[in-house]
Structure 1
Amino acid sequence: MFACLLALWALPSAVRAQHHGEVADLQLERTAEGLLLSAALQLELPEVVEDALYKGISMHFIAEAEVVRQRWYWSDKTVARATRFLRLNYQPLTRRWRLTQSPVPFAANGLGVSLGQNFEELPDALSAMQRIARWKIADEAQIDEGVPYVVNFQFRLDMSQLPRPLQIGAVGRSGWDIVLARSVRLPAAEAAR
């Protein structure tokens, strides 16, 4: 019994130890083209992740947004879901950082639709990765007028894209657990035009 209480007491400190940033600002805008999300992240890369980047290992991140209609009579209904994939890597020969963004997961053969940017320094690449501007997360037809919605946003490190030895070694280590999340209500007053 005492061990269970001790474990519950230690849980909040374990959760704080895994804190690597926050979603500082999350804004929703309803336009004629749909629901747009803008966010500012404050992300601090753990030392193990930064060390792996400098060794040439690419880090894959996923930004996910989910628009949920809350219903009192049934379980909540997911109306729309949007995902953005990001890959950050260091190129030792040129000593440059490359940030690549794609609406679909990165293929192993390197083909696909993506947008890439090069940076001289890691803070510049991180700054670009932490700004999300006017990202369309739902079509206008998916959002009913006069109905309140909740938008759940999450930004995380995709552990499944790490090389297999790192996946095994990262299990249970808090330095690899990068998850930033925030929920915002889109009130019915904003939903109605």
Structure 2
Amino acid sequence: MTVFITHCWRRIGIELGAWLARAFAIALLGLSGAWAQTSSVELTELIPVRKDSALMINAQLKLELGPAVEDALIKGLAVHFVAEAEVFRERWYWTDKKIGVASRYYRLAFQPLTRRWRLNVSSEPIAGTGLAGSISQNFETLAEALSVIRRQSAWKIADAQNLDPDARQRLRYEFKLDVSQLPRPFQIAAGNQADWNLQVNKTLRLSEELVR
């Protein structure tokens, strides 16, 4: 009987702990009816450019973080963003062939001791505290940090030698807030909030001048 009671209390404790963690995550992510969900992202420019032996792109985003996301950042939660560009060669007889891909990973965090914002940028996923290999920059304001994320210039996405002048090629671009990098309880809470659902993508066909 004692073992049974102990097991029951242990189970209740685990369930209560999980509930409290989720409740805290929801509170931290800003489930407040007084806050308007104002986070937004828009792709205002996507220009492919041929330079020397590479195909590059210039992308410009109109990215705004709502109060819920900013509050979570100030309370110590790091927020991750991902930009990805892919080039495909169309094939009528088979699935399209991917001939180029490039990714940029951003980790944005607030440092309460210095009251500064730190942005890490890498071509590889930034998981946890594994920041080795990333470029780190510190900023006085959130706006300054966001300005770096908003602009992606001269970004190489494919080698020119892989482009086929006799075939059609297309470019696909995507940018998003990577909710999967949040701690598990926060992922559950963020999944129900439009303020955290930041994502934009666009596909365009490459001109003949770019693939020759």
Provide the rounded CA distance (Å) in 2 between the counterparts of 1:89 and 1:161: 13
In the TM superposition, what whole-angstrom CA distance separates every residue of 1:3-53 from its partner, at most 9, and x where no partner exists?
xxxxxxxxxxxxxx8981211011111122311111110011132211111
Shift of 1:182: 1.5
Match of 1:4 in 2: none
Match of 2:43 in 1: 23
Match of 1:6 in 2: none
Change in CA separation of 1:61 and 1:111 when aligned onto 2, cut-off 3 Å: closer
Contact preservation (8 Å) 1:26, 1:184: no
Contact preservation (8 Å) 1:18, 1:177: no
1:75 maps to 2:75: no
Match of 2:6 in 1: none
Contact preservation (8 Å) 2:39, 2:66: no
Match of 1:13 in 2: none
SS across alignment from 1:51: helix
* Seq. identity, %: 45
Provide the rounded CA distance (Å) in 2 between the counterparts of 1:154 and 1:184: 12
In the TM superposition, what whole-angstrom CA distance separates every residue of 1:51-108 from its partner, at most 9, and x where no partner exists?
1111111001110001011233333222221111111111111010111100111243
Provide the rounded CA distance (Å) in 1 between the counterparts of 2:173 and 2:166: 22
Please list, as runs of the form range in 1=range in 2, the aligned pairs for 1:12-91 lying within 5 A after superposition.
Answer: 20-91=40-111
- Residue 170 of structure 1 aligns with an amino acid whose one-letter code is A
Please list, as runs of the form range in 1=range in 2, the aligned pairs for 1:1-193 lying within 5 A after superposition.
Answer: 20-192=40-212
- Root-mean-square deviation (CA, aligned residues, Å) is 1.8
- Residue 71 of structure 1 aligns with an amino acid whose one-letter code is R
Tell me the TM-score normalized by structure 1.
0.84
Larger radius of gyration: 2
Tell me the TM-score normalized by structure 2.
0.77
Change in CA separation of 1:174 and 1:107 when aligned onto 2, cut-off 3 Å: closer
- Unpaired runs of at least 5, structure 1: 1-16
Shift of 1:132: 0.2
Contact preservation (8 Å) 2:160, 2:211: no
Provide the rounded CA distance (Å) in 2 between the counterparts of 1:57 and 1:109: 12
Change in CA separation of 1:85 and 1:142 when aligned onto 2, cut-off 3 Å: same
Instruction: Please identify runs of 4+ aligned residues in structure 1 that moved more than 3 A.
Output: none
Contact preservation (8 Å) 2:73, 2:110: yes
SS across alignment from 2:200: strand
- Residue 94 of structure 1 aligns with an amino acid whose one-letter code is T
Shift of 1:112: 2.4
